[in-house]
């Protein structure tokens, strides 16, 4: 976990308060925009500036755009310098292009050869990015779209610069480099700012279902057993905006975590019975 600067923490809390207030009487379309800005705020100040402006929150947009530094960025640079000193490479995931572009500029300024990979690149550009990373590149900055069908086993250091609210996306990120044939233990770092929605979320996912120890495919089975019509991201956001403060949200999220834990127990019980039937022939 990363302790944000005073300015970062104040901005995040101001955005969250504005989102909660606006969401209570918002239309479905407006709620989607509000959910987006809350997710952007958890990524980086620069990521959310444009969306804040489009919502008409010019005061917050100006504060975000003028943010000169980020504690998460500083932590990332320190981590990547250690990785580079060992002669290793790292994949850094972010959900948002604006964060990706900001990170590219910052890392280039620190002497990193950072390749970028996102869904808007052409096939040729994607091939070139992977080739660059496999060659002299030290860092691959990647969005969710990156790496499908790509062999990144030559890299075993992964950083989540921001954290998706959908656990399946977290699992898919890890699957990019944690494939059959990986010869090293994957070193995973989650850069989560203290006092954010994402901090509460990662605590619950790890405590209740051991998210990062699940076998590929198990998470989908567990989530499928949740008795809720909303997708997981919507479920998290609805609980967030319904909460008066972070303490109430933590309590609500804990209940979701309990449901996940029960779903995991039920899934493991079903799998055990199937294994017994198969063994019995």
Provide the residue-wise pLDDT of the chain in tens; the chain has 281 residues.
899 999 999 999 999 999 999 998 899 899 999 999 999 999 999 999 999 999 999 999 999 999 988 999 999 999 999 999 999 999 999 999 999 999 999 999 999 999 999 989 999 999 999 999 999 999 999 987 555 666 777 888 999 999 999 888 888 887 777 664 567 788 889 999 999 999 999 998 888 877 777 766 778 888 887 767 678 899 999 999 999 999 999 999 999 999 888 888 888 888 888 877 887 76
Backbone angles phi, psi at 26, to 5 degrees: -85, 155
Q: How many helices (H) and strands (E) are present in the chain, helices listed first?
A: 12, 5
Vertex 49, ends 22 and 240: CA angle to 5°?
A: 35
CA 60 – CA 66 distance, rounded (Å) = 10
DSSP 225-263: T---SS-HHHHHHHHHHH-SSHHHHHHHHHHHHHHHHHH
pTM, two decimal places: 0.89
Cα distance between residue 211 and residue 174, in whole Å = 11
């Amino acid at each position: 976990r990363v302790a944000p600067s005073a300015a970062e923490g104040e901005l995040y809390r101001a955005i969250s308060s504005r989102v909660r207030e606006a969401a209570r009487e918002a239309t479905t379309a407006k709620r989607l925009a509000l959910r987006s800005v809350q997710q952007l705020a958890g990524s980086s100040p620069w990521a959310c500036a444009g969306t804040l402006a489009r919502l008409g929150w010019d005061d917050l947009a100006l504060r975000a755009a003028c943010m000169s530094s980020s504690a998460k960025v500083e932590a990332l640079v320190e981590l990547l310098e250690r990785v580079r000193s060992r002669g290793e490479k790292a994949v850094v995931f972010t959900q948002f292009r604006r964060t990706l572009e900001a990170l590219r500029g910052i890392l280039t300024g620190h002497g990193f050869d950072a390749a970028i990979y996102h869904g808007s690149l052409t096939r040729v550009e994607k091939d070139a990015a992977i080739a660059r990373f496999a060659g002299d590149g030290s860092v691959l900055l990647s969005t969710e779209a990156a790496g499908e069908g790509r062999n990144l086993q030559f890299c075993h250091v992964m950083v989540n610069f921001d954290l998706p609210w959908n656990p399946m996306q977290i699992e898919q990120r890890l699957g990019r480099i944690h494939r059959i044939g990986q010869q090293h233990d994957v070193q995973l770092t989650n850069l989560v700012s203290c006092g954010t929605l994402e901090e509460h979320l990662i605590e619950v996912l790890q405590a209740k279902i051991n998210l990062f120890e699940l076998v590929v495919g198990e998470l989908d089975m567990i989530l499928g057993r949740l008795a809720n019509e909303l997708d997981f991201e919507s479920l998290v956001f609805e609980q967030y905006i319904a909460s008066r403060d972070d303490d109430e949200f933590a309590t609500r999220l804990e209940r979701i975590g309990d449901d996940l834990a029960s779903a995991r127990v039920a899934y493991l019980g079903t799998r055990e019975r199937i294994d017994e039937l198969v063994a019995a022939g």
